[in-house]
A and B are shown apart, each in its own frame.
Chain A
Amino acid sequence: MSISTPYLTYILGAYGVTLFSLCLFLGWTIFQWKKSIHQLNNSSHET
């Protein structure tokens, strides 16, 4: 790809939004998963 392309902003925008969203969603999903494991362990110990 040529850096001087007039579409550079749109291309970087599309790839940037895609990769950022995929990473953010993956991180949020893993966080929720770990949180659910933690909550389940705590609840199991209490009962």
Chain B
Amino acid sequence: MKYRWARPNFFLKITTPLLPVSFILTLLFLTGGLYLGLIASPPDYLQGDGMRIMYVHVPASWIASLIYAFLALMSFFAFVWRHLLAEVLAISSVPIGALFTGLSLVTGALWGKPMWGTYWVWDARLTSVLVLLFLYGGYWALYKSYSRPEQGIRAASLLALVGVINLPIIKGSVEWWNTLHQPASLIKLSSPSIDPSMLTPLLLMAGAYFFYFITLLMIRTRTELNTRKLLILEAKK
């Protein structure tokens, strides 16, 4: 009874009404974020309209790290307690995390070219985010290299737990090393050094990405549970 909330059937029951709500919230946040980010917000006094790329780039980086933290937590539950729902949630979150990491790198490159004069530099921040993409890829490859999901998840979980070390490196890279990438403007101990007219579209886009992640996580978890049921049915034949 204690772990009722962590049972796959309970998960399916509670997420059935949540799925459309999460999808609608994604659309609402995305519409507001795109309108403010592309049209209503003012251009930056230094970067001009080029700064608008920040509204798609920065939230993608946040969500990519957030998903990895979620993956590591689920991997911990899966590794220690071999919990089925944690295993399924972990593997379901990997492609979504990889998508946001890829988007962070591509939009960052498109912002870097007009501002820095180059698409890519082997800077600490950019390199640590690239390592994050490799961690997602490594997790997926390791999981898929085993014929049985329960074996693959243990090896992949171990990789995810070791890879957690990359999260503080990503966050601290702009402070610990002399990088081309600008330091944090929002997530820092003192108050944010960003104007509310720019903060609002940034937070709306972050909300859109977050609810997109939740929506896709629910769908992918259902798909993975169906796949596992199918494996059991085929084994019984």
Q: Which residues of A does B touch, CB under 8 Å?
A: 1-2, 5-8, 10-11, 13-15, 17-18, 21-22, 25-26, 29-30, 32-33, 36-37, 39-40, 43-44, 46-47
Asked if B151 is at the interface (CB within 8 A of a chain A CB), the reply is no
- Whether A43 and B233, one on each chain, are in contact in the complex, defined by CB atoms closer than 8 angstroms, is yes
Q: Please give, as numbers and ranges, the residues of chain A lying within 8 Å of B111 by CB-CB distance.
A: 10, 14
Q: Please give, as numbers and ranges, the residues of chain B lying within 8 Å of A5 by CB-CB distance.
A: 43, 48-50
State the main secondary structure of chain A at its contact with B. Answer: helix
Q: Please give, as numbers and ranges, the residues of chain B lying within 8 Å of A36 by CB-CB distance.
A: 222-223, 226-227, 230
Asked if B183 is at the interface (CB within 8 A of a chain A CB), the reply is no
Which among A2, A6, A13, A40 is the interface contact of B226 at CB below 8 angstroms?
A40
Min CB–CB distance A25 → chain B (angstroms)? 5
Give the interface size bracket for B toward A.
Answer: 35 or more
Asked if B82 is at the interface (CB within 8 A of a chain A CB), the reply is no
- Whether A14 and B216, one on each chain, are in contact in the complex, defined by CB atoms closer than 8 angstroms, is no
Asked if B99 is at the interface (CB within 8 A of a chain A CB), the reply is yes
Q: Please give, as numbers and ranges, the residues of chain A lying within 8 Å of B57 by CB-CB distance.
A: 14
- Whether A6 and B114, one on each chain, are in contact in the complex, defined by CB atoms closer than 8 angstroms, is yes
Return the chain A residue nearest B113 by Cβ.
A10
- Whether B230 and A17, one on each chain, are in contact in the complex, defined by CB atoms closer than 8 angstroms, is no
Return the chain A residue nearest B38 by Cβ.
A1
Return the chain B residue nearest A32 by Cβ.
B223
Q: Please give, as numbers and ranges, the residues of chain A lying within 8 Å of B114 by CB-CB distance.
A: 6-7, 10
